[in-house]
Amino acid sequence: MPQTTQTVPTPQAAQPPKPKPPEPPPEFQENDIATMDATALIRILTDASSTEFQKAKACQRTGELGPREAVPALSALLSNEKLNTYARYGLEPIADPSVDDALRTGLSKLKGNLLIGVINSIGKRRDRKAGPALAKMIYDADGDVARAAAMALGNIGGVSAMQELQTAIGKTKGMTRMAVADASLVCAERLLAEGQRAQALELYASLSAPGMPKSARLAAMQGIVREETSTSRPR
């Protein structure tokens, strides 16, 4: 009977430990910033020797904490090309009217992408006091600014925004007119959410008229049908 031989496994050589990734230089380390309180964060934001990275991370951390006392330091960065977005990230969650004051001030001081960013933040915060300024900006020579202003006004909502958008759709052209129509649809939904059904239907009706941008017209018709056939609508 033939004998079988068993193969003895050769022991594996011990693998050398993987080298640890190199530590980033101190100016690019964020661990300390991620646990700082508002006072320490404001110190970074206002210190001229702080790097852009440190200020960006401080803005993000401030957005998590939402301290009112950080508003001046964050507002000062709205005009910074590299830190504007981070500053707005820090400002938007802070539940204090001083944020809205700072953003409205930016409307008259900033241009281009910095201005568009501030307009977007105003729309997110739904600051109705900014409505008149945004309504004028719908006619801005910079089409990107005009379209951002229209959308912010739609997000803010309310009867005043509705009226301004209805006026603007008759005075604008091309891409801006389409943006105004889209913003009007958003405004109509805001009106419905606030219980202003009659005004919302009035806005839908104006958007469904001949000559309106096709996509907005179809959406407005759908909105009318949805509301008129809803079992929860007022009788």
Q: State the pLDDT at residue 31.
A: 64
**Distance in angstroms (rounded) separating the CA atoms of residues 73 and 70:** 5
pLDDT per position as a tens digit, 101-160: 999 999 999 999 999 999 999 999 999 999 999 999 999 999 999 999 999 999 999 999
Structural tokens at position 41:
């964060």
Q: What is the mean pLDDT of residues 159-180?
A: 97
Give CA separation, 230 vs 67, 158, 213, in Å.
43, 22, 26
List, as one string, the DSSP characters of 104-171: HHHHTT--HHHHHHHHHHHHHHT-GGGHHHHHHHTT-SSHHHHHHHHHHHHHH-SHHHHHHHHHHHTT
How many CA atoms lie within 13 Å of 110's alpha carbon, on the beta-carbon side? Answer: 23
Domains in the chain (CATH in brackets) are: 30-113 (1.25.10), 126-230 (1.25.10)
Query: pLDDT category, 15, cuts 50, 70, 90?
Result: confident
**Distance in angstroms (rounded) separating the CA atoms of residues 119 and 161:** 15
pTM above 0.95, yes or no: no
Q: What is the mean pLDDT of residues 35-55?
A: 95
Q: What is the mean pLDDT of residues 27-36?
A: 75
